[in-house]
A and B are shown apart, each in its own frame.
Chain A
């Protein structure tokens, strides 16, 4: 059982970049292997606390996308 929100990535470099973005913003994350039940091209996932969901989403959205295409669910 994993608590919190799991973020998966399309590439390892994205996962590492996301760590830098979250780290600068002071959002705590744990590096975990992508859970096997999730399909992802990248083996690195990040786990963040539920309460950081909104700021993390905004930060990653502006870091990776210029539109509103980031989805969660």
Chain B
């Protein structure tokens, strides 16, 4: 019988951490009970990143997220369509422009950079946007289009939730998934290299 984790009434990121603990212990099937939608979204992402299936059952304000690793192990492999592959490198953007100097130039450079990465053969497994870098997923249509293209090709776009909250942009995010420090740090830890712009 699978284990039930009661994370009701627990604020982000506690449900995430409780589920991660189960995964780290090798538990292949368990259920996490939560009472808010943000936690459900975080748990689904955790499942995906760890090679688990997540099935959500909702009853009123309560959600049961069932983690199972049996189905997904085999199909995890390859999202490649023959023209590109996802590698374990990570792109980090902490500001909405590239380099230092004139912002106008820096904004053009970051648009071209994201376009060129998306056109490449070796794509990052994740693009992480923090601090004012989150503006790229909210206000810059061209970066949003370039990030969407990367996301469609299998790259995770992780947008810092704390930063969105600070800049009052949480409701306006156009691409990617709202993330937290735990997931971001885990992503860095697993990366073979991190490129910071």
Binding site for B on A (CB under 8 A): 12, 15-16, 19, 30-33, 43-44
Residues on B with C-beta less than 8 A from A33 are 112, 115-116
B142 part of interface (Cβ distance < 8 Å): yes
Interface size in chain B (residues, C-beta < 8 A) = 9
Residues 105 to 141 of chain B near chain A (Cβ within 8 Å): 105, 108, 111-112, 115-116
A-B contact count (CB 8 A): 26
> Who on chain A is nearest to B115 by CB?
A32
Task: Determine if A16 and B108 form an interchain contact, defined as CB atoms under 8 angstroms apart.
Answer: yes
**A30 contacts B142, CB within 8 Å?**
yes
| Closest-CB distance, A15 to chain B (whole angstroms) | 7
B111 to A: closest C-beta gap in Å:
4
Contact with A along B89-110 (1 / 0, CB 8 A): 0000000000000001100100
B145 sits at the interface (CB 8 A): yes
- The chain B residue with its CB closest to the CB of A32 is B115
Identify 11 residue pairs between A and B in the complex whose beta-carbon atoms are under 8 Å apart, listed by A's number.
A15-B108, A16-B108, A30-B111, A30-B142, A31-B108, A31-B142, A32-B112, A32-B116, A33-B116, A43-B112, A44-B108
Which A residues touch B108, using CB under 8 A?
12, 15-16, 19, 31, 44
Q: Which residues of A contact B104 (CB under 8 A)?
A: 16
Partner of B112 from the list A16, A19, A44 (CB cut-off 8 Å) is A44
Task: Determine how close the nearest CB of chain A comes to the CB of B197; give it in whole angstroms.
Answer: 15
- A30 touching B115, Cβ below 8 Å: yes
Contact A31 B115 (CB under 8 A): yes
CA distance A44 to B107 in the complex (A): 11
Report chain A residues within 8 Å CB of B111.
Answer: 30-32
